[in-house]
Amino acid sequence: MRTRFVLIQTSHPGNVGAAARAIKTMGFDDLVLVAPRWPNVLHREIAIQRASGATDVLAKARVVATLDEALQGMHHLCATAMTPRDFGPPTRSPREHFSMLLKKEPSVQVEQCSKPNLVQGFAEDTGVAFLFGSERFGMANDDVYRCHVALCIPTAAHFGSLNLAAAVQVIAYEWRLALGGFAVQDVAAHGQQADAAQVAGMLAHWQRALIDVGFLDPTAPKKLMPRLNQLFNRARPTQEEIHILRGIARALIDVASERNKGDTIK
């Protein structure tokens, strides 16, 4: 599905850069600005600094004069508004609405267009747009009225004011999550996770080392090794970390061996 983030009358260039960074982290890159306060906002230094690695999103972003131009090619419009509007679209949390949307429930309206299969459902080339108002005033009523839903991010009752870029990040995250999300990257970033056989081999090595140094009594092992097994299952060690742990076990065995030789000489 095509996804577009639309910022309406944004006043702070830093928020534009931060919004570009926010959507890039979630795998999106279609950013359109409607009548921003600064016409050259995409090239202002603070915007580039706050983009912090997402300058390609800024380079691709467009500045247009009207909301109509920004919404060309879009079929499902999501306003962001903390306060429900009288006579406006239904107000839902992002997670609630996205769940309904992707299940293609009849209660979710989709704008009629030349492709019949877009009604009560989505084709792969459907355009979904998320609209954000200015930092000071939010979205104008007329802009909210033309949307299919008003997304309200659940916040603390006594303080529900989010920074524009923070709101963009939350919506981008929830939408990416609804679309299937991304795999967690921690293991890939630090090495290949060790498999069960490698963990078992390391634990056998450690068992021998712990016996040799006198920490584990083989006649009364209790539950030490199963507990260590569970500890390493939770830790999800990489293959490199398994090699380190086996190196420690080897060193312990060597120390115990040298100690035993000394006792024998005495």
Q: Is the pLDDT of residue 104 over 80?
A: no
Q: Which domains does the chain have, with CATH numbers?
A: 2-178 (3.40.1280.10), 186-265 (1.10.8.590)
Q: Is the pLDDT of residue 114 over 70?
A: no
Structure-token match 């005495």, residue found: 266
With pLDDT > 90 as the criterion, what percentage of the chain qualifies?
A: 69
pLDDT score, position 157: 83
pLDDT score, position 190: 62
pLDDT score, position 196: 92
Q: Which residues have a Cβ under 8 Å from the Cβ of 20 and sit 6 or more positions away?
A: 31, 47, 51, 54, 55, 57, 58, 61
Q: Is the pLDDT of residue 262 over 80?
A: no
pLDDT score, position 186: 52
For the chain, what is the mean pLDDT?
A: 87
pLDDT score, position 120: 45
For residue 226, report the phi and psi dihedrals to the nearest 5 degrees: -60, -35
Its pTM stands at: 0.66
With pLDDT > 70 as the criterion, what percentage of the chain qualifies?
A: 87
